[in-house]
Amino acid sequence: MGRPKGFEPDVVIAQAMETFWTKGYVGTSPADLAAATGVAKGSLYHSFGSKRELFGKALDLYGRMCSEFAEECLSRPGTAKECIRAYFVLLVDMSLDGPTRRGCLAQKTVEELGGRDEEATRAAHRMEERSIEQFAARIEQGQRDGDVDRGVDAKAYGLFLQTTLAGLRVMVKTFDRPALIQIIDTALAGL
């Protein structure tokens, strides 16, 4: 019978996710992961296989967290425009008020590994597709509630909003709050 693990795998994955999110996949060393998780490199690799496998688990966790957070924000009371705006503003605020302006792990993944790592590219694409679906669903709800014109193509506008969100998550690294809020308000003017 083997020795029991001295760590909780879900906690280690969350700590690794934070490190990958801050430093990127390429910029995160095995030593960084060991320092962030408090788990020796050998134990990390014994438990998770490789840095890449741990990154895959971190991406999955990030995707679930993002989806749940979006769902919670977009289901709050208010019009579709109010809910989407509040969600965007909250993401901007979280990025600007955090210890570092790190943007989005999915965007970082696309920038670093897109086209070179099929699995990571697919994971990021799944996150983007889920976000598009969530925006489209909120727009469709707004159409049913009467606060979004029925002529708005919910799926196309959902794609546009996801593109805006991706841009915001990159621009949050260098732009100030007033410029980012202006982008949000411009993007939502059509709702």
pLDDT in tens, 123-150: 999 999 999 999 999 999 999 999 999 9
* Structure confidence at residue 65 as a pLDDT band (50, 70, 90): very high
Q: What percent of the chain has pLDDT over 90?
A: 90
State whether the Cα torsion 66-89-114-47 is positive or negative.
Answer: negative
Both structure tokens of 68? 């749940």
How does pLDDT run across 157-183, given as a tens digit for each residue? 999 999 999 999 999 999 999 999 999
Give the list of residues 6+ apart from residue 96 with CB closer than 8 angstroms, or none. 172, 177, 180
Distance CA 71, CA 110 (A): 23
pLDDT given for residue 1 in this prediction: 40
Check pLDDT > 60 for residue 188. yes
How does pLDDT run across 100-131, given as a tens digit for each residue? 899 999 999 999 999 899 999 999 999 999 99
In angstroms, what CA-CA distances link 135 with 10, 142, 157, 163, 166? 29, 11, 8, 11, 13
pLDDT given for residue 27 in this prediction: 96
Mean pLDDT, rounded, for 41-62: 94
Both structure tokens of 144? 């049913």
Judge whether 12 and 39 are in contact, CB under 8 Å.
yes
Both structure tokens of 178? 């007033």
Distance CA 161, CA 140 (A): 14
